[in-house]
Structure 1
Amino acid sequence: MLTTGIALAEQYDYLSEKFDRAFRFLRTTDLEALPLGNLPIDGDRIYANVQAYTTLPDEEAPFESHRNYFDLQYVVSGQEAFGYLPVADCTPSTEYDAARDLIFYREPEEAGRILLRAGEFAIVPPEDAHAPRRRTAAGPCAVKKIVVKIRL
């Protein structure tokens, strides 16, 4: 997430051209009209994954991380609880799937959690695990989200 330790403060340039392109896409596209699925922005370097779902109980929305891409998770409509924790503090529950650039983790005893509402986003680097799609205290919610994948 864009919350991290000082040791990582200069590791990534969140103002670089690739992040600028991702934000430009979010600002200038009719996000409500996008069909579900993947949409290239700059080949496999930057692409959007358009999703729609109903938020889930925590036990059905596990922590995950990626090794080759940042996630820029932008909520178009609805709201969700979004967990986060450094990967170093996580215990894998699956093997890393290189084809999907994805690994899942066991539920930690304690983790950070934020509320993402329509118009808000979180940026997650490979050093952080995240748990999207989680219900808030208000209960299940229909969500439309754009996950912009930005290659390292």
Structure 2
Amino acid sequence: MIIDCIDKYELYQGLGDGVSKALEFLVSHDLEALSIGKHEIDGQCVYALVSEYETKPADSSFFERHELYVDVQYVVRGEESIGYAPLQDQVVVKPYHEEHDYALHSGNASFVNLCGGMFAIFFPGDLHMPGISDVPGSVRKIVVKVKA
């Protein structure tokens, strides 16, 4: 897992072509103007998912885990906490589904706050719980999926 501000994106260009394309997309587009939904960047190898939602409490959420894609999660507007834990012996709530590239787990998390202009990179196997806050709030986020 990596967390930083988008103005430091060049530090992470060495993480591979896909992550570089994801970060370049985030700094080169008007992210407020993008429509909600999927935007292809490099076919199914790199694509962006634009969403807007209300944050929710951690006790109503589970960890996500991916195996095929890296998540580059960028908060355009709003603020949320994201839970993180290394994959160990957490309880599997929903087994891995390859077609949708996710599984759900329960367990304890460490939380970090992300506000507009910040991003987090989650690698395959990193457990993450996005969209969390004790006080509900609106978030506009772009998740760029990068084929691992």
User: Fold-level match, TM-score > 0.5?
Assistant: yes
Which of residues 117, 125, 131 in structure 2 aligns to 1:133? 131
Partner Cα separation in structure 1 for residue 18 and residue 110 of structure 2: 27
Q: Which runs of 5+ in 2 are unaligned?
A: 4-12
Aligned residue identity for 1:134 = I
1-structure distance, mates of 2:24, 2:65: 25
Separation (CA, whole Å) in 1 of partners of 2:119 and 2:93: 26
Q: Deviations over 1:20-72 (max 9, x none)?
A: 11111000101001111111100000000101000011122211110000000
Q: Is 1:36 matched with 2:43?
A: no
Structure 1 letter corresponding to 2:117: G
After superposition, the C-alpha distances for 1:67-86 in whole angstroms (9 at most, x for unaligned) are 00000000000000100001
Structure 1 segments unaligned to the other structure (5+ residues): 4-12
Distance (whole Å) between structure 2 residues aligned to residue 61 and residue 30 of structure 1? 30
In the alignment, what sits opposite 1:93? 93
Which residue of the partner structure matches residue 142 of structure 1? 138
Partner of 2:121: 123
Q: CA deviation at 1:15?
A: 3.1
- The superposition leaves residues 113-140 of structure 1 with CA deviations (integer Å, 9 ceiling, x where unpaired) of 10010000100001210000111x4x11
Give identity over the alignment, percent: 39
Structure 1 position 148, deviation (Å): 0.3
SS in 2 for 1:24: helix
Query: Hey, which bits of structure 1, 4+ residues long, moved more than 6 A?
Result: none
What is the CA deviation profile of residues 77-114 of structure 1, one whole-angstrom value per residue up to 9, with x for unaligned ones?
000010000122422101111111010012x1x32110
Number of corresponding residues: 139
Give the SS at the match of 1:93: strand
Within a 5 Å distance, the mapping from 1:35-74 to structure 2 comes to 35-74=35-74
Q: Could you say what secondary structure the match of 2:32 adopts?
A: helix
3-state SS of the aligned residue for 2:15? coil
Q: Alignment RMSD, CA only?
A: 1.5
